[in-house]
Amino acid sequence: MKFSLCIGAYPEKDLIYHLEKVSEHGFAGLEYYAWWNIEDLKTVAKEQQRIGSGITATCTKSFNLVDDRKRDVYIEDLKQTIEACHTLGTKSIITQTGQVIDGLPREYQRKAMVETLKRCAPLCEQAGIVLEVEPLNGIVNHQGHFVQYSYEAADIIDQVDSPYVKLVFDVYHQQITEGHVIANATRYKDRINHYHIADNPGRNQPGTGELNYLNILQAIQNTGYEGIVGLECGYTIDTDEALLQFKREIAARLE
Q: What is the domain partition of the chain in residue ranges?
A: 2-253
Check if the beta carbon of residue 17 is closer than 8 Å to that of residue 44: no
**φ, ψ (nearest 5 deg) of residue 235:** -135, 130
Alpha carbon separation from 135 to 124, 148, 173, 251 (Å, rounded)? 20, 5, 8, 25
pLDDT score at 11: 97
Question: Is it true that the peptide bond before 201 is cis, omega within 30 degrees of 0?
Answer: yes
Check if the beta carbon of residue 61 is closer than 8 Å to that of residue 36: yes
Query: Which residue type occupies 197?
Result: I
pLDDT means per 10 residues in the chain (255 residues)?
98 98 98 97 98 98 95 98 98 97 97 98 98 98 98 98 98 98 98 98 98 98 98 98 98 97
Taking alpha carbons only, the member of 113, 95, 94, 96 closest to residue 104 is: 113
Angle, helices 71-88/41-51, rounded to nearest 10 degrees: 40
pLDDT score at 78: 98
Taking alpha carbons only, the member of 158, 169, 184, 242 closest to residue 208 is: 242
Contacts 24+ apart (CB under 8 A), 244-253: 244/25, 245/205, 245/207, 246/205, 246/206, 246/207, 247/25, 249/207, 249/214, 250/206, 250/207, 250/213, 250/214, 250/217, 251/3, 251/217, 253/214
pLDDT score at 229: 98
* CATH 1.10.10.10 fits domain 2-253: no
200-223 burial: b if 16+ Cβ within 10 Å, else e? beebbbbbbbebbbeebbbbbeee
pLDDT score at 141: 97
Query: Which residue type occupies 20?
Result: E
Helices assigned H by DSSP within 11-169: 15-25, 41-51, 71-88, 106-127, 150-160
SS3 228: strand
What stretch of H or E contains 196?
A: strand 192-197
CB neighbourhood size of 78 (10 A): 23
